[in-house]
Structure formats: structure tokens, C-alpha cells
Amino acid sequence: MDLDDTSLSESGLAATGAATGEERILVIACGALAREILALRDLNGWTHLDLQCLPAKLHLWPDRIPDAIEAAVREARSRYARIFIGYADCGTGGLLAARCAALGVEMMAGPHCYSFFDGNDRFAARGDDEMLAYYLTDFLVRQFDAFVWKPMGLDRHPELRDMIFGNYQRLIYLAQLDDPALDAEAARCAARLGLAYERRLTGYGDLAAALAATADR
Amino acid sequence: MAEDDDEIILSELSDEELVPQMHDDLYDGLRDEVVEGVNILLGRGWTPYDVLTKALVEGMRIVGIDFRDGILFVPEVLLAANSMKAGMAILKPLLAETGAPRLGKMVIGTVKGDIHDIGKNLVSMMMEGAGFEIVDLGINNPADSYLDALEREDADILGMSALLTTTMPYMKVVIDTLKERGLRDHYVVMVGGAPLNEEFSKAIGADAYCRDAAVAVETAKQFMARKHNQLAGAR
């Protein structure tokens, strides 16, 4: 399937409806996770798993995420045996977890995708050591201008850099894929923000186990 | 030339025209124009307090409403805030000389483990503009840093900010420490930050959740008015 990052950011991804079998599962996820979830699906042969993505840009308004998830769950519920939510807390302050519990659907554990890609336990253990770090994932490296540079106004007002990023010291690229081109691009992102650069290959982290627990049940 | 014909000469505007124009300039983040407007109003005999409240704070209040409604975004708000800050830099020494109403004193800071301060800085600025004395502790504050400052400064209000789901629970640690030391009732505790909500604020025992800077100002004013009424009633 051809995926377009701009569409994943702006409009998300409609469920393909290609899943087969009686125990069909729908994963409703953030557009920023589409490539990773589809890669895991193909890798594991989960032909009974469908993916629907909400626009990744919902992260700019985290308070809108619970309502958007609920609408998607209610709309799709009758067509699937199970639904799994491919979002962590994502800045909703526990409201998404409460909504998922009320809807009776499971979701990713952890505060955000940086944490579950790194591994929630490992990320929590890093604690204040990485307080001054700004994170990017594969998706965010590819969408750096759309998600960071332009929404923060740095394309029009570079003088805002210190107000927004002045407290950070380094950019850590949490790499899902071992891709030299993305590595080089992430290093460029760090330079543009005036931050030291570090790369950490995480792979799919806790996302792989969480999807497996849902798909293989 | 047509372009020149369209140019607005601030000094040629009446007060009634200039103040809304300053609101527009603040909205558009036009720092130099805001500074010019401040100087013009002062030159016309306006009190520094009136310039602050009617031109700057009111302008920033409009910016806050449009931010809340999704019409403006973070960069625009920061540019507006920079413009207001530039205007306040002129007014601050004058306010100290002429005497402006002081509504109360607030200690504010981002909690331990968190370095995000955009929201906290906006709240500080708006609170200061509204007449509160602000003691800004900056970022990454442990409980003792808040408690020491509250006592040292004889403050009325504690403001805590967090942007991360992982750091917001630390607010409860601070409130619990206040309780342990028998100090909880001495201060109004206001909390804010993107992932927070009313339920969380109640659950940790804060007095108020403030979803934005304008709400923080109004909430603080209400608490201070209540405090003054209680003191008056006790006399």
C-alpha cells in the first residue's frame, strides 16, 4: 500500500476493509503510526487486522482525541470482532484512557509514542536524565516541517526558536528503521533547532508486543 | 503612492482610534508599533496603569480568546506576548513610581522534571499585567523550591505548570508536602498545562484548574477578593 505522509498528517487513513476471517480486528491509530503498524501486520501475517488512522495532526489539539476516537469506534464497532486503539495517553491527561475504558476497548500503554517505541519501562527509567531532550520518530523526521518547523512558526519567525526550544539541549531521534537517509535528515533537523544530535535505534518497541497480544489472541 | 495612503500614522489617531489599533497591532505581533502606541498614550497624559490595562492587557485578552478558539496558534501568541512584553518594559518603572493597585503575590513555576515554560510565561505576564506581583521560579522545580519561595515571599498564590503527562502528577507531591507541613490553607493553589483538566485538579487537591492565562487571571482575582472579604468580615 502506498502511504503518503501528508495525507496521514492531514486526513488520516480509511480502513481498507481488506481483513479476512471471522475474528476481524480493527486498529484505530494515529496517522504517525500507520507505516509501523502495517509493517508489523505484514511481517506477522495478520491478515485479519485492518488499520484505520486518524489524522496525525490531532496531536496539535490533544483534547480533541477522545471524541475523535469514540466516533471512530462507534462507527466501526459492528463490523469487527475487536477494536484496539493505537494511541498512548498522548497529552490527554488520562481522558483517553477513561474514554477507552468506557467504550470497552484497549489502547497502547504509556504516555506517548516516544515512550512505547523506546519501551515504556526503559523510558520511565531514564527519568530526568532526558528532561532536556526533544524527540523525533521516523514519521516526525519525515514530517519535521509540517509538524514542528511550520506549526511553531520558525519558517516565518526564526527569532521564536529560543522561546520554544531554548530549554532543550539535544534532539534524540528514536529510529524505528535503520535508515541512513532518515538518520542524516534527523541530524539536519537537530542542526536547524540548534540542538546536539543523538540517534537511538528502538525498532517498534512495545508497539510490536501490544499488537501481537491483540492480533494473536 | 497608494501604499503610503494606506499607512496608518499612529500619532494622528485619536485615543478612541488608537487603542483598538494597538489591540490589532498586538494581535499581529507588531512590537515596534505597540511600543510606539504606548509612548503616544503616555505622551497624551494617560496613566501607565490605564495604558497597561486598556491597551495591552485588553489586547492580549483578545489574543487569548482566539488562541482558545483555535483561530490563533502558538507562534502568533508568542509574537503578541513579545509585543506586550516590550510595552510592559516601558510601563513597569512608571507603574512603580505612580503606584498601581497590587492584587496579590503569586509564586509560579514549572514542576520537577519538566522544562516547558511557554504557558507558564504567558500566565506570569498576564497576571503581572492584571496587577499581581509575580515570583517566577522558572522550570524543573522540586517541592522545596516552591515551599521556600512561598514562605520567603509571603505569597498568596501558588501556580504550578506542567506540559507532560509524566510530570503533572508531581503537582500532587507539592500539595501533599504543603499539607504535611500544615501550610495548605495558607495559599491558593492554581494549576495549569496542556494535559491537565478539572478532574485532575480536583483529584490532587488544587483549588483551581486554569485552562489558559485569562482564566488564571480571573480565578486569581476571585480568590483574592474572597480573601479580602473574609479578612474584612473577621474584623
Establish, for the pair of chains A and B, how many residue pairs have beta carbons separated by less than 8 Å: 64
Pick from B139, B138, B137: which is nearest to B153 by CA?
A: B137
- Could you give the CA distance from residue B110 to residue B162 in angstroms, rounded to a whole number? 6
| Chain B residues with at least one Cβ partner in A under 8 Å | 70, 73-76, 78-79, 82, 112-118, 139-140, 164-166, 168, 194-197, 199-200
Whether the Cβ atoms of residue A33 and residue A9 lie closer than 8 Å to each other: no
Mean pLDDT per 10-residue segment, chain A (217 residues): 86 83 91 96 95 94 94 95 96 95 97 97 93 97 95 94 96 98 98 98 98 91
Q: How confident is the model at residue B5 (pLDDT cuts 50, 70, 90)?
A: low
Judging contacts by C-beta atoms under 8 Å, the chain B residues touching residue A156 are: 75
Instruction: Look up residue A106 and give its amino acid.
Output: E
pTM, 2 dp: 0.89
Sign of CA dihedral B110, B111, B113, B119: negative
Give A104-133 pLDDT, tens digit per residue.
999 999 999 999 999 999 999 998 899 999
Average pLDDT on B91-101 reads: 84
**Cell numbers representing residue A162 in the block:** 529560543
Q: What is the pLDDT of residue B101?
A: 77
**Cell numbers representing residue B178 in the block:** 504543603
Pick from B194, B223, B195, B224: which is nearest to B207 by CA?
A: B223
Residue A44 burial class via C-beta count within 10 angstroms: exposed 0-12, middle 13-18, buried 19 and up: middle
- Verify whether the Cβ–Cβ distance A92 to B117 is below 8 Å: no
Q: Which residue has the cell 481488506?
A: A18
Q: What is the pLDDT of residue B12?
A: 95
User: Which alpha helices (DSSP H) does chain B contain, by range?
Assistant: 2-6, 15-27, 31-43, 48-50, 58-68, 74-98, 118-129, 143-153, 170-180, 198-204, 213-234
**Cell numbers representing residue B150 in the block:** 512561598
Q: What is the pLDDT of residue B235?
A: 59
Percent of chain A past pLDDT 70, that is, above it, reads 100
- Could you give the CA distance from residue A115 to residue A124 in angstroms, rounded to a whole number? 8
Search chain A and give the residue with CA nearest B121. Answer: A163
Residue to substitute from A87, A108, A120, A157, interface B, most B β-carbons within 10 A? A157
Whether the Cβ atoms of residue A176 and residue A10 lie closer than 8 Å to each other: no
Cα radius of gyration (chain B):
19
Search chain A and give the residue with CA nearest B115. Answer: A167
Query: Domain coordinates of chain A in residue numbers?
Result: 5-110+205-216, 120-201
Q: Give all strands (DSSP E) within chain A, no chain letters.
A: 25-30, 49-54, 82-86, 106-107, 133-136, 170-175, 196-201
Q: What would be the CATH architecture of the domain defined by A5-110+205-216?
A: 3-Layer(aba) Sandwich (3.40)
Pick from B194, B188, B127: which is nearest to B165 by CA?
A: B194
Percent of chain B past pLDDT 70, that is, above it, reads 97
Q: How confident is the model at residue B2 (pLDDT cuts 50, 70, 90)?
A: very low
Long-range contacts of B206-210 (CB under 8 A, 24+ apart): B206/B160, B206/B171, B206/B175, B210/B123
Which of B73, B79, B139 is closest, CB to CB, to A167?
A: B139
Q: What is the pLDDT of residue B213?
A: 92
The whole-chain average pLDDT of chain B stands at: 93
Distance, C-alpha B126 to centroid of its chain: 2
- Verify whether the Cβ–Cβ distance B115 to A132 is below 8 Å: yes
Whether the Cβ atoms of residue A84 and residue A50 lie closer than 8 Å to each other: no
Give B179-211 pLDDT, tens digit per residue.
999 999 999 999 999 999 999 999 999 999 999
Judging contacts by C-beta atoms under 8 Å, the chain B residues touching residue A111 are: 164-166
Phi-psi region of A206 (alpha: psi -120 to 50; beta: other; left: phi over 0): alpha
Sheet bearing A25-30, strands edge to edge: A49-54, A25-30, A82-86, A106-107
pLDDT score of B1 more than 60: no
Average pLDDT on B125-153 reads: 96
Search chain A and give the residue with CA nearest B113. Answer: A128
Number of H helices, E strands in chain A: 11, 7
Select the more confidently predicted residue: B230 or B172: B172
Q: What is the pLDDT of residue B70?
A: 84
- Verify whether the Cβ–Cβ distance A128 to B200 is below 8 Å: no
